[in-house]
Amino acid sequence: MFQPQKTYEFYSPTKVLSGNKALENLPVELDGMNAVKPLILTTPGLSARGMEKVMASAFGDSNLTIGVFAGVPPQPDLRLIRELYSLYRDNGYDAIIALGGGPVLDTAKALNIAVSGKPEDLESLASGNPLTKKLKPLAAILNLDLSGCEMTRYASLGSLSLTSPALIPDLMIIDPRTATEEEQKTMAATSLMSMTQAVEACLHPARNHLTDAYAYGAARFIMENITNVMRNPSERKGRLALANAAFFAQTSFDNLAPGMVYELGMAVSRSCHTKPGLIMGLLLPHFLLLEMRKETTDRKDLYLFIGGPEAFAGTMAEASARKAVDRIVEILLELQSIVTYFPRSIRDLGIKKEDLEKIVAHGSAAGVRGEYDPQDIRNILEKAWETRF
């Protein structure tokens, strides 16, 4: 929050509705966007948990007709988008409601491109041509099983990577009936993803007043609620706070380039099929310890984000960066004692030592921002492999 001022851009086009009876506002919100017939996309799993009934009840007394497609698979593909495209067109839908995390939003964003123009626009966008048409209304209803990109400009569909600010959902709803309990490990992964996005936003060289404000909200909500919710998943307010934190973290992440821990976490996740949030949680302390040894980064207020104003103000400036790391490690240790089968190092995830070199090469070649030294990346990965929390 104390950086020199550079020119920045910030954009968050999403309207947030969070809390009690939020779902019931959908009809009014859709009407404000000139939509009357939404198609809800969700997964078979969420459908089996009764989410369709919840949605039907939320639309009760609205006089609207809603469609529900409850077949979004873990790996949606172009074939699915083409099927949904016909379904959307043939039945006269005029908006999409995505209920759930990761793949549901990927499907919804891709479908929205197709129905707002034509299915071929997907390949066109993936090969770098910007979208020219305004997209149809898209609402996202978040739960606590998230990929970290739901509320961002990013979507992926098989081999296609789609990036456009137009993909960001117009509306985000967090409601106690849909942000329900997930497995402990799933909720931990979601929150550690948010935490990583928030911490990296706070240390980012291009941080600005608004990414700071969002990252601050995210970090505070996670630190105040993560262990409570793991201990007592029926704690409804805590779950809503974590879902809110995910949105805040994603919004600050979306307005900055992805950070190193995020990119490495994604890379490691691809080679061991573990949720990236868990891996990022394991990488984060090692990354921070390495950062602290450098003189270049402005990190003196990280502890404000992590510890809150009371703790931050009560700590000597020189000690505060170290305190932030300690606090994060404490949280990880606590999670280990609460969450069953919580990994303690990336070695626990079945990563072999010789795999690390591949990830280093991949990390420094592709995604990870140029300013990181491959030696740093190797260092962090090795530490996260050897050290067991």
Nearer Cβ to another protein, position 244 or 274?
Answer: 244
Query: Among residues 8, 48, 330, 386, which is the contact residue for another protein, using CB under 8 A?
Result: 8
Query: How many chain residues are in contact with another protein, going by CB under 8 A?
Result: 72
Cα distance between residue 188 and residue 340, in whole Å: 11
Nearer Cβ to another protein, position 1 or 289?
Answer: 1
From the list 13-21, 153-161, 276-284, 288-296, the region that binds another protein by CB under 8 A is: 13-21
One-letter amino acid for residue 259 of the chain: G
- The 10 Å Cβ neighbour count of residue 245 is 28
Q: How far is the CB of 30 from another protein (least distance, A)?
A: 11
From the list 15-23, 192-200, 270-278, 366-374, the region that binds another protein by CB under 8 A is: 15-23
- Return the H-helix or E-strand segment holding 162: strand 160-163
Cα distance between residue 84 and residue 148, in whole Å: 24
Pairing of strands 95-99, 160-163: unpaired
- The 10 Å Cβ neighbour count of residue 2 is 8
Is position 356 an interface residue for another protein (rule: CB under 8 A)?
no
Site for another protein in 113-172 (CB under 8 A): 132, 134
Q: How far is the CB of 181 from another protein (least distance, A)?
A: 18
Query: Among residues 74, 128, 309, 370, which is the contact residue for another protein, using CB under 8 A?
Result: 309
Is position 11 an interface residue for another protein (rule: CB under 8 A)?
yes
Residue 263 neighbours by CB under 8 Å, 6+ apart: 363, 367, 368, 369
The long-range contacts involving 166-169, CB below 8 angstroms and separated by at least 24 positions, are 166/131, 166/134, 166/135, 167/109, 167/112, 167/113, 167/135, 168/12, 168/13, 168/14, 168/254, 169/14, 169/98, 169/105, 169/108, 169/138, 169/139, 169/140
From the list 62-70, 111-119, 287-295, 332-340, the region that binds another protein by CB under 8 A is: 62-70
Cα distance between residue 219 and residue 248, in whole Å: 9
From the list 69-77, 195-203, 269-277, 348-356, the region that binds another protein by CB under 8 A is: 69-77
Is position 350 an interface residue for another protein (rule: CB under 8 A)?
no
One DSSP character per residue, 366-388 reads TTS-TTS-HHHHHHHHHHHHH--
Q: How far is the CB of 367 from another protein (least distance, A)?
A: 25
Q: Is 174 helix (H, G, I), strand (E, B) or coil?
A: strand
Q: Quick check: 12 and 251 in contact, CB under 8 A?
A: yes
Query: Among residues 66, 140, 229, 249, which is the contact residue for another protein, using CB under 8 A?
Result: 66
Is position 32 an interface residue for another protein (rule: CB under 8 A)?
yes
Nearer Cβ to another protein, position 28 or 366?
Answer: 28
**174 to each of 64, 140, 186, 256, 306, how far by Cα in Å?**
21, 9, 17, 24, 24
Is position 27 an interface residue for another protein (rule: CB under 8 A)?
yes
Q: Quick check: 6 and 163 in contact, CB under 8 A?
A: no
Nearer Cβ to another protein, position 101 or 217?
Answer: 217
Phi, psi of 339 (to 5 degrees): -90, 125
Query: Among residues 3, 18, 116, 163, which is the contact residue for another protein, using CB under 8 A?
Result: 18
Is position 1 an interface residue for another protein (rule: CB under 8 A)?
yes
Is position 85 an interface residue for another protein (rule: CB under 8 A)?
no
Nearer Cβ to another protein, position 198 or 264?
Answer: 198
Nearer Cβ to another protein, position 6 or 294?
Answer: 6
Nearer Cβ to another protein, position 70 or 329?
Answer: 70
Q: How far is the CB of 11 from another protein (least distance, A)?
A: 4
Cα distance between residue 335 and residue 226, in whole Å: 9
Nearer Cβ to another protein, position 251 or 269?
Answer: 251
Is position 75 an interface residue for another protein (rule: CB under 8 A)?
no
Site for another protein in 199-258 (CB under 8 A): 208-210, 212-214, 216-217, 220-221, 224, 237, 240-241, 244, 248
